[in-house]
């Protein structure tokens, strides 16, 4: 891999006699989404504040594009930090300024742009973050989710090269959490900045992260891809990941990817040769189109409602469901053949069209933005034997996908 954009070498930080970071080593690469996970109070925010220079290490060194920060002169240091934005855990919005003024603040104070250009940029960011109607409101008049979006808009207004997100989803309900994460991922793809997140949202952060850093017992104990983390054998996995995944199951009704694969593994071990199982994959439109058509909040509400219904329907007959990707839900039916599954699916489709689609149109679609749009719900089934390759089966199920319903989504909700 190339030279890391940011690198920590044996960084130690103490507050009084309490050591918060102990010889931390990590690398963050350009253009990637890197997520730092760990328990509350483990020093994740402290670590993030070192990157932007709000805190300085007691020992060790931080390197920016291979150069140690502590050896840089003031102008060089200022230039290094110039492209970094920070989204605070508590938003840190100026409560005496309106949302518009909060977002415009960095441009007004640090650039020589004309008023009209600042206005154009702020309006564009507010539209992107669905805040246009809140422009003249003060932060105290906004919901928690809107405050987060205002903080996100302010962090992105200067088109930064690096954005640090300190627990961007704290205090949000599961739907809003996913909405904020998907907003970060979408903006990161669009603007191509390097994102560093501190988050508890497991497994949702896996969908948007290129790399995961695990902070445990004052040290970074893991650096790698989300897939590599699944196979990481360390007490961190039992103490942190399992507890967070348990919480995720309670909140969303769906199993995490890791729990799903564990259950799958157990089920498959019980299978005798020749016995089959089925995978059903559900998807809701094309993700980017979906987000731009209905907005982040509505998209997450729709996916959540779909997930709950799928889990309820298939859970009753031993099915296990998980969110496979941002717009995909995977269900495994461990005891069903293809014929049985297709018969179950016929019943499901009838119920889905009769109950779920009207409910979503009247409920989750309330959050939709703009004009009415039509969203296609697809489902595909694949059958496999005990030792079948799950990824190959998934691809087969995807290629078998057919339309099972259409949602007519309009702002304020419709029923058709």
**Smaller CB distance to other proteins: residue 105 or 262?**
105
Q: How far is it, in rounded angstroms, from Cα 416 to Cα 409?
A: 10
CB of 106 or CB of 358, closer to other proteins: 106
Tell me the closest approach of the beta carbon of residue 89 to other proteins, in angstroms: 8
Nearest CB to other proteins, comparing residues 90 and 246: 90
Describe the crossing of helices 257-270 and 242-252 by its angle, rounded to 10 degrees. 90
CB of 302 to other proteins, least distance (A): 34
Asked if 35 and 200 touch (Cβ cutoff 8 Å), the reply is: no
CB of 111 or CB of 136, closer to other proteins: 111
In SS3 terms, 53-107 reads as CCCCCCEEEEEECCEEHHHCCHHHHHHHHHCEEEECCCCCCCCCCCHHHHHHHHH
Is residue 204 within 8 A of residue 197, CB to CB? The reply is no
Q: Is the peptide bond before 203 cis (omega within 30 degrees of 0)?
A: yes
C-beta of 64 vs 260, nearer to other proteins: 64
CB 42 to other proteins: min, Å: 19
If we measure between CA atoms, which residue out of 325, 4, 12, 6 comes closest to residue 164? 6
We find the least distance from the C-beta atom of residue 52 to other proteins, in angstroms, to be 5
* Nearer Cβ to other proteins (155/299): 155
Which of 392, 393, 361 has its CA nearest to residue 377?
361
**Alpha-carbon span 270 to 264, nearest angstrom:** 10
In the complex, least distance from residue 144 CB atom to other proteins, rounded to whole angstroms: 15
Q: How far is the CB of 294 from other proteins (least distance, A)?
A: 31
Minimum gap (Å) between residue 102 Cβ and other proteins: 10
Q: Under a CB-based contact definition with an 8 Å cutoff, are residues 208 and 34 in contact?
A: no
- CA angle 60/65/71 to nearest 5° reads 50
Q: What residues make contact with other proteins under the rule CB under 8 A?
A: 16, 52-54, 78, 81-82, 84-86, 88, 90, 92-95, 105-106, 108-110, 158
Q: How far is the CB of 109 from other proteins (least distance, A)?
A: 5
Q: Where are the beta strands (DSSP E) in 237-372?
A: 276-284, 320-325, 328-333
Smallest distance, other proteins to C-beta of residue 78, A: 7
Nearest residue (CB) to other proteins, 54 versus 251: 54
Residue number with CB closer to other proteins (163 or 407): 163
Residues forming beta bridges with residue 198, ordered by sequence position: 36, 166
Contact (Cβ atoms closer than 8 angstroms) between residue 103 and residue 122: yes
Q: Looking at beta carbons only, is 91 or 182 nearer to other proteins? A: 91
Question: Is 234:202 a contact under the CB 8 Å cutoff?
Answer: no
């Amino acid at each position: 891999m190339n030279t890391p954009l940011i690198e920590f070498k044996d960084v130690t930080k103490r507050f009084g006699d309490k050591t918060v970071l102990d010889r931390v080593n990590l690398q963050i690469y350009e253009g990637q989404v890197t997520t730092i996970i760990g328990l509350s109070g483990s020093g994740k925010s402290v670590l993030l504040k070192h990157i932007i220079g709000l805190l300085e290490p007691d020992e060790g060194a931080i390197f920016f594009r291979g150069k140690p920060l502590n050896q840089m002169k003031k102008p060089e240091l200022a230039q290094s930090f110039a492209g970094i934005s920070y989204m605070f855990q508590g938003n840190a919005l100026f409560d005496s300024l309106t949302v518009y003024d909060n977002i415009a603040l960095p441009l007004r104070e640090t650039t020589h742009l004309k008023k009209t250009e600042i206005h154009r940029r702020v309006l564009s960011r507010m539209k992107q973050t669905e805040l246009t109607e809140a422009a003249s409101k003060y932060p105290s008049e906004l919901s928690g989710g809107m405050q987060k979006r205002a903080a996100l808009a302010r962090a992105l207004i200067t088109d930064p090269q690096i954005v640090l997100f300190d627990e961007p989803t704290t205090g949000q309900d599961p739907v809003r959490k996913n909405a904020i994460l998907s907003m970060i991922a979408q903006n990161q793809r669009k603007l191509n900045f390097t994102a560093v997140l501190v988050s508890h949202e497991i497994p949702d952060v896996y969908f948007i992260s290129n790399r995961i850093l695990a902070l445990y017992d004052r040290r970074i104990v893991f650096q790698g891809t989300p897939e590599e983390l699944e196979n990481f054998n360390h007490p961190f996995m039992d103490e942190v990941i399992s507890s967070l995944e348990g919480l995720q199951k309670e909140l969303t009704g769906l199993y995490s990817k890791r729990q799903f694969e564990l259950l799958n593994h157990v089920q498959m071990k019980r299978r005798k040769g020749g016995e089959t199982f089925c995978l059903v994959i559900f998807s809701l439109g094309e993700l980017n189109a979906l987000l731009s058509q209905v907005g982040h909040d509505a998209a997450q509400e729709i996916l959540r409602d779909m997930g709950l219904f799928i889990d309820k329907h298939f859970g009753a007959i031993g099915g296990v469901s998980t969110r496979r990707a941002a717009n995909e839900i995977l269900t495994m039916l461990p005891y069903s053949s293809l014929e049985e599954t297709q018969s179950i699916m016929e019943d499901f489709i009838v119920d889905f069209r009769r109950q779920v689609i009207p409910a979503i149109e009247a409920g989750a679609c309330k959050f939709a933005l703009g004009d009415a749009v039509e969203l296609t719900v697809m489902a595909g089934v694949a059958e496999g034997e005990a030792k079948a390759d799950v990824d190959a089966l998934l691809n087969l199920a995807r290629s078998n996908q057919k339309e099972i319903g259409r949602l007519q989504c309009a702002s304020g909700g419709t029923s058709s």
